[in-house]
Structure 1
Amino acid sequence: MAAKLQFDCTNNITEYEACILGLKMTIDINVHELLVIGDSDLLIHQV
């Protein structure tokens, strides 16, 4: 999957957008259980 953000944003915003896009993709393919691992604990817990 590839995505291009069409607005100016910071590194934090791109991380949020990537995480949300990944979560939406898992919903689309009917994943019922998911383990999210990342280097930003704050980002993962906020999303």
Structure 2
Amino acid sequence: SSSIEKLFKRFKSMEGIMNASMEELSGEVGLSRARKIEEHLKLTDR
């Protein structure tokens, strides 16, 4: 069940990227958010 949990968390993170507007992603806030999500995915991959 832990692997399903990881997949769910990963999906939620990906969903967050998809839902972010292009303006948000092009700004500094978007970049820092993308880095945080990237770090989160690396942690959940273990």
TM-score by length of 2: 0.49
Bigger relative contact order, structure 1 or 2, given CA contacts below 8 A and separation 6+?
2
TM-score by length of 1: 0.48
